[in-house]
Structure 1
């Protein structure tokens, strides 16, 4: 199967369908930078958050995480992004050390669903996934597929402009224009991360991990 990326330790794909194309991995990192990954990284530092609760204010990120939890023999499912890229890589390294064996990692960019239910490329998720893959490479987990390597290098090349890129992206402008409502998140007691916060590289050491249907801090 040419699209499984099975010969590589670090893999990269888009959305639930992309996840299904990959060989099952030991660790799956879901990346949905604007709102989901960034907000959850801060929220679970204060309290566990049930997946079903998170679904109320997230579409793609929650869907990828839920699908990831059902892959293969039950991988460890983490949420990563720009805000916690280095911490996510350290969590993967910790898991590899605990297993005492080479650990495969699939990094899945959530993307954005259009009104026609088609997956749209989202530059913020490309950069977030690239940040995580670059951080893995820095720790020596660097046997990356071409797809993963390209994501990492795009992040390295553009990292100085993260704030500008996220604010100017289609998704960032959509949030700024109030097209995407945050009422549900606010009513649920969770403050949504601002676009500028989502662009803050390694601003938090918290990595959400999905265990028994609930996100909690990785430890």
Structure 2
């Protein structure tokens, strides 16, 4: 575990924010709760799944055989590729009853971004929550409840996944083609949908009195506050969203930009997200 006293550890703050797996390692020491944010589409899909009673096991995508082995161990199934029948990384694939009535056990959901981060945090001794625009207020309330249960200040690390992908169509096209995760050295692309969702969660935490935010978290919060009324348009016009719309997933984009539409807060327990 890295040293939180480094200049980038944000150790003095209760609410921290960084990007990607490396960022998670920087701000993890001393944290009690980690919120993973990957709006288009992993954490939004997890929220939709758990809202419909479907537990989800995150998988980092780089080993499809490992995903199948995990599904077998959990007594579940591996999500299909986007565009195929059944539950997939497409959030709306979990919203039709026919998508989940036949499911037995957790769905292993491969994702090179949010899924990879969540999977890496499974055994780190922290509460791991899936956050999105849809459940940002519910996430804040859950964190407040956890703090009240602990009876002392709870440190929150919020991690935006961004896009570990290069090229015009990024991970969405890679998922459509069935390829594996981006290489570990593939740089993270800044994703405004994740930036705004992190800011929305920080905004909800501040409203509940959890407001000792790092500069990084404060800037994300200010971005959301200043752009709140344009957030849906901005996310829908982002590169990530345009990529999805061009592939026929406009409904996923609309679904992901609905603010405070869900009360469920998926929590990672024994490697599986459930309510």
| TM-score, normalised with respect to structure 2 | 0.71
Number of the residue aligned with 1:126 = 195
> How far, CA to CA, are the matches of 1:128 and 1:136 in structure 2?
12
> How far, CA to CA, are the matches of 2:227 and 2:195 in structure 1?
11
Q: Does 1:12 align with 2:17?
A: yes
Other structure's SS at 2:41 match: helix
Number of the residue aligned with 1:199 = 257
Q: CA RMSD in A?
A: 1.8
Q: Does 1:38 align with 2:44?
A: yes
- Pick closer, same or farther for the CA change 1:20–1:81 going to 2, 3 Å: same
Q: Does 1:93 align with 2:151?
A: no
- CA offset at residue 195 of structure 1? 0.5
Number of the residue aligned with 1:111 = 162
Select the residue among 239, 263, 268 that pairs with 1:210. Answer: 268
Comparing 36-45 with 120-129, greater Cα deviation is found at 36-45
Contact 1:39 1:193 in 2 (8 A): no
Number of the residue aligned with 1:187 = none
Q: List per-residue Cα deviations over 1:45-103 (Å, max 9, x = no partner).
A: 222122244664422011111222343xx000000111100000001001101111100
Q: Unpaired runs of 5+ in structure 1?
A: 183-191
RCO greater where, 1 or 2, for CA within 8 Å and sep 6 or more?
1
Matched pairs, number: 204
> How far, CA to CA, are the matches of 1:142 and 1:37 in structure 2?
24
> How far, CA to CA, are the matches of 1:28 and 1:212 in structure 2?
15
Number of the residue aligned with 1:102 = 153
Number of the residue aligned with 1:188 = none
> How far, CA to CA, are the matches of 1:118 and 1:214 in structure 2?
27
Other structure's SS at 1:33 match: coil
- CA offset at residue 7 of structure 1? 0.3
Q: List per-residue Cα deviations over 1:135-170 (Å, max 9, x = no partner).
A: 000000000000000001101111111221111100
| TM-score, normalised with respect to structure 1 | 0.88
- Pick closer, same or farther for the CA change 1:174–1:125 going to 2, 3 Å: same
- If you compute each CA radius of gyration, which structure gives the higher value, 1 or 2? 2
> How far, CA to CA, are the matches of 1:23 and 1:78 in structure 2?
14
